[in-house]
Structure formats: structure tokens, C-alpha cells
Amino acid sequence: MTPLVETVGLRAGYGDVEIVRGLDLRVDAGEVVALLGPNGAGKTTTLLTISGELTPLGGEVRFLGQATRDPLHVRARKGLAVVTQERAVLMDLTAAENLRVSRCDIGRAVELFPELETHLQRRVGLLSGGQQQMLALARCLARSSRMLLVDELSVGLAPMVTDRLLAAVRAAADDGIGVLLVEQHIHKALGVADRVLVMKRGAVELEGTAADLSDRVDDIQNAYLQPATSEATGS
């Protein structure tokens, strides 16, 4: 099976500051791969480089089996979708207008998140944070996406809302989409992931199936997920 996304010896960062060092990962269709690690480990830098927002400092990013340095908008046309913790929605437009701008099937979006139906004609800036993040995720899933990058969509949200969003991510993978998930809540990540990669100081230090690592949560938390103190800034 050809991976949807693969990195080979990826080095990435900002200017001359290297954050990610020699990263190898792959995401296949129909699976959720959770990328965990402390602040500064290189998780967001990895997603930004895979998406095309950052140019690799070395190594390769492969999308749909081909090495690529295409910008994000080109990768998006080929089926790459990104959900960020900043809730990438257009605040001055209505929810329905957001979906139309993204060329989404509004019926499919409402099927995914019935909670949005009564708010379609409301300006997005008036929606709650959870509703905005539902809309951001719907914009990715209610069109022809093949690969989804998710960067801590739970930030600032209530646990029940987070569970709702992650359940939709899991369902999307069950329907065949590949997902690379960065998530701050290790228990919630393990609950939806198939495989887990734990990063520290820009490299993968532990990996395995979610099932194999589910009984090592405390060890992982203590050994790998404590905040970075001396490494270069980068998430």
C-alpha cells in the first residue's frame, strides 16, 4: 500500500534553526496516527512542513507516493486538508458561506455535525469556539479530502466538545481518510489512534500501536511529555 503521506529523513525548522531532525513517518489510508510530545518537540513544525507551509531543510515529504515541494494550495487541490488550533474559519461570513467558499457539500457538513444546522445563517464570529471548530473540521471533511492534518483542535474547548470532534476524526478515518493528529490530551489521542509516535527534541523516541501503548500512559507522560526547557522554540 502506498502511504498517503510519508516523510523520509525530514529535517525542518525556521531559517537556520532546525527543529525536526531526521523524521521518518507514514500515514496510510484509513488510519489515525497520533503525534505526541512536549511543547518544542517539533509536532507543529512537522505538520507545517507536510502541509507545504514550510520548506524542508532536508529529507523528503511524499504525498500520494510522490516527493513534493508544492505549496499548500496545490496539495489541497490534491486532497490534503488541515485543521489548526486557530480555528481557520472566516469570521465575517456565515457558516453556510464558509462551507460554500470551501466548495463543501453543505448537506454532508450538516450530516457530520447536526449541531451546525440551526446556525448556518449566523456569522461565524458569533458562534461558540466549539461550533467554530466543528465548522473548521466540516470544511475539511465535507469535500473530497484524502488526507487530514489536525493540530490540537481541542485547545480551549470543553471535554465533551473535544470528544465530539475526535469522534468525527475517527469516523473519517474509518471511511478511508488518512489522519495525522497532534493532540495535547494523551488519553483522548490513544482513544482514537491506530498508531502513536512520541517526539522529543525533534525526533521520534517511541512508537507503537495505540493498543500496545495504552497501558503505558503514565510512563509516556513522565518520560516524554514534560515541557521542554532548553531546546529551541518550536512546537
- In this predicted model, what pLDDT tens digit does every residue of 178-219 receive, in sequence order? 999 999 889 999 999 999 999 999 999 999 999 999 888 888
Name the superfamily (CATH) of residues 1-77+147-154+176-227: P-loop containing nucleotide triphosphate hydrolases (3.40.50.300)
C-alpha 35/C-alpha 47 separation (Å) is: 10
Q: What is the pTM of this model?
A: 0.92
pLDDT of residue 227: 62
Mean pLDDT of the chain: 92
Determine the average pLDDT of the residues in 35-47: 94
Domain spans of the chain, in order of start: 1-77+147-154+176-227, 80-144
pLDDT of residue 50: 98
Query: What value does the CA radius of gyration of the chain take, rounded to a whole number of Å?
Result: 17
pLDDT of residue 228: 52
% of the chain beyond a pLDDT of 70: 96
pLDDT of residue 184: 86
Residues 52-87 have pLDDT tens digits of 999 999 999 999 999 999 999 999 999 999 998 777
pLDDT of residue 234: 53
pLDDT of residue 229: 47
